[in-house]
Amino acid sequence: MSHQSDLIATDIDAYLKQHEQKQLLRFITCGSVDDGKSTLIGRLLYDSKLVYEDELAKVQSDSVRQGSVAGGFDPSLFMDGLKEEREQGITIDVAYRYFSTAKRKFIIADTPGHEQYTRNMATGASSADLAIILIDARHGVLTQTRRHSFIVSLLGIRHVVVAVNKMDIDGVDYSEDRFNEICDDYRSFATRLDLPDLHFIPISALNGDNLVDRSENMPWYTGSTLMNFLETVYIGSDRNLQDFRLPVQLVNRPNLNFRGFCGTIASGIIRKGEEITVLPSRQKSKVKEIVTYDGNLDEAYAPLAVTLTLEDEIDASRGDMIVRSGNLPRSESDVEAMLVWMNEEAMVPGKTYLVKHTTQTVPGNVETLAYKVDVNDLHRMPAPTLELNEIGRVRLSLSAPIHHDPYRRNRTTGAIILVDRITNATVAAGMILDRGTTGSHKSVWDDEVSADDSSDALSTVTSEERAARFGQKPATVLLTGLTGSGKTSIARAVERKLFDAGRSVAVVDGEFVRRGLSRDLGFSADDRSENLRRSGHLAHTLNDAGLICLASLVAPSDDVRQKVGKLIGEDQFLVVHVATPLEVCRERDTKGQYAKADAGELSNFPGVTAKYDVPTNPDLAVDASTTSIAECADAVVELLKSKGFIK
């Protein structure tokens, strides 16, 4: 075996101690069907002399009967252990192998390439430090290559090796140009993914080129071999050692004199004497002892299993979390997450599932499905549900708060699974998303469905049929201006004129929206942006139903107004600037808002304590101080006629 040492013969205890101290690297192989994942691992083990003689003899015998290389030695049989896998020549379930070299210990997860087993691939990737994505040099980047790359990025695997396999095949012939072509193609796709450490290696898994030893057939490649890269890639900075998190798994009470809280440290470092906080009670104490099987420690770090005793008697139980005071995770009952759906039965929004998070299990339901992701092109699309192997962004409503961090920051406290309450089957794996530091209602413009996504795809009634029925084309008219400018009065006047003319029309009033849909929002820049986003979606829905929408909002930011236009569709979005002068708006203010803003009682008030961006190129500008409301309304109606929305 390649990891043998002289210490085995001279000092077995010293050898075992040296072996225990080796760093562990978990990695997976993934990619499309028949790209050579199992062959790669088998050859890697064989060339590294990490296969026992009896196992080698069995594989050599099976290669004649079940191998896929015309009776020759088939390294893939080291991994494909299921009868069905050997018969079909595919990987079905995740197969794990454990081995070590002189420098490191390794756990390999060989994951299936078929689309129907995507959930198995996600399971194998959930604990990996590194991913090897194989690409067949003949076929290049395929759909399943993109799918697995997206899941690798989603699961936060920082280190990725793209192994371009089968460089020895006729037609490829170890071509440097073909290798570079595939690398460029993959890079163009990967720019939209979060893969911070990306490497490319040309290999032949069947022949062993560039696996353990450098290939003589590819002298143009001067980079590292695959085994050398696995032994030297730096993963020390991947682990979160800043945020101390200890989910309580068990309260250890062997006698009256000892009471300890047991668990595996999810992240961070804890030392004797440091102050801690127990969640959710928020009781504080200090660490008295850090107890382990091998004796007490002065400090402990992830991923050690420890028992903490505290200086004070504090009530804590399984499901609680011990953290360092001053560095608390979020405690929320509403979280947003990316879900990988793993069940044959589709996700049902509103259905109650069991949500498992660290050592805590709480009932919860999928409140909304924001979108699902087409992993082929990363396009986000609306959907009523998630089917098997589909991925989407959801908002979960839980019966009790969970203490979590974003998955990107902490893969333990940021991970959840959903379990069916009846069958007890795991139906989904989830990664909790970062909602930002300004509150749970931060503007999410960049996370939502593309602007040109229409409800036509979800309806049997087309927009053309609606236009024919109503005798009009749908449009949204945004009337923007300072508080007191007359926006709402003009919108109501236009509504009456259009309704009297037989048109189908509705008004979205910003003040009315704040009483209901946005009653949870304040008046900060982010909250105003979020209010306009919600109003924009409401207007978009009305347009999809064939109606003309008159939206009356202050909408002070030009940037946000442009985003609303993209959301609704620029071909059916009009901006009307109600350009009433500020002094006139002050005179019309019956609620005293301007006076409060002047006195500092209202912050972020457009025109006084916050900026109002005057539209640079509105479709129409009216001044309600020099023109009557009726005349302003007539001008808006004429605008709709001139743009062809009504006749």
Q: Binding site for ATP, residues?
A: 481-488
CA-nearest of 594, 591, 596 to 582 is 594
Provide the Cα torsion 378, 384, 389, 395; round to 10°. 80
Residue 94 dihedral angles phi and psi, to the nearest 5°: -70, 130
What does DSSP say about strands 95-100 and 159-165: parallel, antiparallel, or unpaired? unpaired
Count of C-beta atoms within a 10 Å radius of residue 412: 20
- Under DSSP, the state recorded for 304 is -
Q: Give the Å distances, CA to CA, from 624 to 9, 477, 618.
A: 96, 17, 16
Count of C-beta atoms within a 10 Å radius of residue 416: 25
Binding residues for GTP: 31-38, 110-114, 165-168
Number of residues written out for the chain: 647
Q: How many DSSP H helices and E strands does the chain contain? A: 17, 28
Binding residues: 31-38, 110-114, 165-168, 481-488
Exposure class string for 198-234: b at 16+ Cβ within 10 A, else e: bbbbbbbbbebbbbbebbebbeebeebbbbbbbbebe
Tell me if 173 sits within 8 A of 137, measured CB to CB.
no
The verdict on whether omega for the bond into residue 254 sits within 30 degrees of 0, i.e. cis, is: no
Please name the residue that has the structure tokens 């969970």. Answer: 402
To the nearest 5 percent, what fractions of the chain are helix, strand and coil? 30, 30, 40
Tokens of 26: 């978990």
Gyration radius from the chain CA atoms: 31
Residue 593 dihedral angles phi and psi, to the nearest 5°: -70, -40
